[in-house]
Amino acid sequence: MIDIGPAKLDKVDDAGTRPRRVGMILVILASAVVMTGSGGLAYLVNSGNTPNLARAAGPPAGTGPLRVTSMTPATGSATATGVSAVRITFSAPIAAGSAMPRLSPVTQGSWQASGSALTFIPDAPLAPDTRFTLRIAAGESGLRGTAGGELARPVVASFRTGPYSSLRLAQLLAELGYLPLSWQPVAMGLVAGQADAGLAAQQTLAYNPPAGTFTWQPGYPATLRGLWQLGQVGPLVRGAVMAFQAQHGLAINGVVGPRLWHALFKAANNGERNAVGYTYAVASEGSPETLTIWHDGRIVLRSLANTGIAVDPTALGTFPVYERFRNTIMSGVNPDGTTYADPVSFVSYFNGGDAVHYFARASYGFPQSLGCVELPYQSAARAYPFLTYGSLVTVTG
């Protein structure tokens, strides 16, 4: 009920020109009574210059239970960028001293409150291709609103960061000399190769590669250019990854994982370029059969070679060198069922049991092996220093 003052209210006359009190209900001429959206009554006085008087039922704003109204990245997101901050918006401003949400895996950074929003600023971009879980405690031990509101129940949400860019992988490998292409950014700034870029800057660029231009180094054959797939981890990039792994003490498997990226960032910041140059080889099954090797854009070997016989041919395609031996024993089963164990030298395995190596033959230039690319001794000795880990070998028909 609204009290309009201490003055007595007279009984109304027959003309109804003065208000009257009937029980506890006040009736004012020329006024309206409406229902509010919350179920309370609002009294709006519309006569003369009398101010509007209104009352809505329910507690003041922000005193009810606290609720999460939005979250970025959205819960369930599978491609969240690791550069973005984590932001949570609530139904009321957050009280100082509230228990902050917990992010796992544990990530270094800080929570910042601004009104009804909390933002987590990581010290470095979030790790790629990783599932993160966010937990917000409820009740007295959890978050509280400035008016005392609490979460009714704990909140658990998760999202997954997307992978680093394959385009950025190629940019780094090219800049460090592991590809037969060079790369130059369009705009100079904190990019790979600058000692002051820092790990966090490198991570940011790995999510959002800078614009730039790839340029082929001259001297390589068209077969190598045909392997280039911009922004994809094809044979050319996979071989470069293996070459990098070999020179940085990593497992030589072509896998692009966190350890590889971390080593790439360090190498880029320190200017640690490819120490052995770039090699590409083509084994041709034409007549006569040959092996040609390019190194840093020039031919360093062209030799007669032997590939696999019809019942055990050398597989066609392009493959990276994954294992090397100065001397070893090759063993297996001949097509006639007998076994062999042959000493071989200058061995570079590139596809399963197929390798470029020396094997004594009376002549070379036609199919004689059980899948390998056989060379005369002097040719094999010259080829071996160039066919390092990750070097691509293409076998053509």
**83-101 residue pLDDT tens:** 778 999 999 999 998 999 9
Q: For residue 318, what are the β-bridge partners?
A: 394
Single pTM value for the model: 0.76
- State which H helix or E strand residue 237 sits in: helix 235-247
User: Of 9, 7, 4, nearest to 21 (Cα)?
Assistant: 9
For 313, phi then psi, to 5°, come to -75, 165
CATH topology for 279-396 is: L,D-transpeptidase catalytic domain-like (2.40.440)
Residue 101's contacts (CB-CB under 8 Å, 6 or more residues apart) are: 88, 111, 118, 120, 134, 135, 136, 137, 143
Angstrom distances, CA of residue 137 to CA of 68, 99, 134, 141, 149: 12, 8, 10, 7, 13
Which of 2-6, 59-63, 78-82 comes out lowest in average pLDDT?
Answer: 2-6
Is 190 in contact with 201 (CB distance < 8 Å)? yes
The confidence score (pLDDT) of residue 112 equals 94
- Residues for the chain: how many in total? 397
User: Of 19, 34, 33, 28, nearest to 48 (Cα)?
Assistant: 28
What number of other Cβ atoms are within 10 A of residue 374's Cβ? 25
**Would you give the DSSP letter of residue 66?**
B
Angstrom distances, CA of residue 351 to CA of 45, 194, 201, 239, 392: 90, 37, 38, 12, 10
Q: For residue 358, what are the β-bridge partners?
A: 345, 375
Q: Give the C-alpha separation, 283 to 286, whole Å.
A: 9
- State which H helix or E strand residue 104 sits in: strand 102-104
Domains of the chain, residue spans: 1-58, 68-160, 166-270, 279-396
**pLDDT at residue 56 greater than cutoff 50:** no
Is 350 in contact with 371 (CB distance < 8 Å)? no
Which of 187-201, 207-221, 341-355 comes out lowest in average pLDDT?
Answer: 187-201
Give the residue-averaged pLDDT of 260-275: 96
In percent, the amount of the chain with pLDDT more than 90 equals 73
Angstrom distances, CA of residue 288 to CA of 22, 356, 384: 118, 17, 22
Domains 68-160 and 279-396 fall in the same CATH topology: no
- pLDDT class for 40, splitting at 50, 70, 90? very low
The confidence score (pLDDT) of residue 9 equals 36
**pLDDT at residue 318 greater than cutoff 70:** yes
The confidence score (pLDDT) of residue 39 equals 35
User: Of 232, 233, 231, 260, nearest to 247 (Cα)?
Assistant: 260
The confidence score (pLDDT) of residue 231 equals 87
What number of other Cβ atoms are within 10 A of residue 102's Cβ? 11
Which of 56-70, 105-119, 378-392 comes out lowest in average pLDDT?
Answer: 56-70
**pLDDT at residue 382 greater than cutoff 50:** yes
Give the residue-averaged pLDDT of 232-252: 97
CATH topology for 68-160 is: Immunoglobulin-like (2.60.40)
**pLDDT at residue 175 greater than cutoff 80:** yes
Q: Give the C-alpha separation, 112 to 177, whole Å.
A: 42
The confidence score (pLDDT) of residue 63 equals 57
